[in-house]
Amino acid sequence: MTPVDILMPRPMPPLVQEKLDAEFVVHKLFKAEDPEALLKEVGGKIRGVAAMGGKLDAAFLAKVPNAEIISSFGVGYDHINTGDCLAARVVVTHTPDVLTSEVADTALGLLLMTVRELGQAETWLRDGKWVSEGAYPLTQATLQGRRLGIFGLGRIGKAIAQRAEAFDLEIHYYGRNRQEDVDYPYHPTLKELAAACDTLMVVAPGGAATKHAVNAEVLEALGPEGILINIGRGTVVDEAALIAALEKGTIHGAGLDVFEDEPNVPEKLMQLPRVTLLPHVGSASQATRNAMGQLVVDNLKTWFETGKAVTPVPEMG
């Protein structure tokens, strides 16, 4: 069988590059001195795209008119215009499930760090303040007795809920639809969820539908004991409103693994005392990234061998 030509617009993990090189003719756009010239030369031959970030829409698809599939690295795919892909009959795949446990573990770790100020306490020790100033101040928040509201009860949201139950947290949720197979209380709006809870866990995907869904009104509803955790997408939270809420004491604290303009983090967020910040490490273990990379490869191989993808995004249903 003649090897299929695929395009890799951006660098991908070495495992992915090695396995794709072994199976396909891979045109690495990021290595080209003149990317547009390369696209003009090979665009018509491209039948698949191995993607890791970057805007992929009708304008991009016009340059690879015979593309059949975009295999994307990551569970989120808001950088891909699925409507444009559907119109062009291009299948889009992502890498769900294989990162669910890792992200859920990170979410609980971030929640614990934020509520008990564990990162700040470690800095206190490392800076020598335990010796010079004594014990770290008592934390004003505790995990005990908290009500956890989950915004986005999908695969990862359910895994977070399962872990949170072990900490005796009361679970509530909000999403596009009530889920009949769960017993947690459902709230018809995000504001109502925030009002019913004192801890809001954002697991929602990005995109226009969720942009700044967590706004000043939602934060006001969360209240002065409130803790916001975001391991979904940075665009879901209005960062300006969050900073204002933290400065005014509208909510107690926040833990963020994602940001609106990564890797740029607002200086004010870094200066606030009850904020824990992580550099988007939710799924960043070698084992999980290897599994995600393998799924990128498997989606491409399976498509060209059988005409079916392993993990198409829901819109492709």
Distance in angstroms (rounded) separating the CA atoms of residues 16 and 297: 7
Mean pLDDT of the chain: 97
- For 130-156, what is each residue's pLDDT tens digit? 999 999 999 999 999 999 999 999 999
CB atoms within 10 A of CB 82: 19
Across 281-301, b (16+ Cβ under 10 Å) vs e yields ebbeeeebbebbbebbbbbbb
Distance in angstroms (rounded) separating the CA atoms of residues 89 and 316: 10
In the sheet with 147-151, reading across from the earlier edge strand, the strands are: 170-174, 147-151, 199-202, 227-230, 253-256, 275-277
What is the model's pLDDT at position 1? 63
What is the model's pLDDT at position 60? 98
Active site residue 252: no
Active site residue 94: no
CB atoms within 10 A of CB 31: 10
Active site residue 305: no
Distance in angstroms (rounded) separating the CA atoms of residues 317 and 308: 12
What is the model's pLDDT at position 317? 73
Collapsed DSSP state (helix, strand, coil) of residue 3: coil
What is the model's pLDDT at position 2? 84
Domains of the chain in start order, with CATH, are 5-98+287-316 (3.40.50.720), 100-277 (3.40.50.720)
Nearest Cα to Cα of residue 213 among 189, 177, 231: 189
Q: Indicate which residue of 18, 122, 217, 262 is catalytic.
A: 262
Q: Indicate which residue of 116, 147, 212, 280 is catalytic.
A: 280
Ranges of the chain whose pLDDT falls below 50:
none
Query: Given CA atoms 192, 194, 172, 282 in this order, what sign does their dihedral have?
Result: positive
Q: Which helix (H) or strand (E) holds 228?
A: strand 227-230
What is the model's pLDDT at position 157? 98
User: CB pairs under 8 A, 24+ apart, for 87-90?
Assistant: 87/58, 88/58, 88/61, 90/61
Phi and psi angles of residue 174, each rounded to the nearest 5 degrees, phi first: -140, 140
Q: Indicate which residue of 233, 252, 274, 289 is catalytic.
A: 233
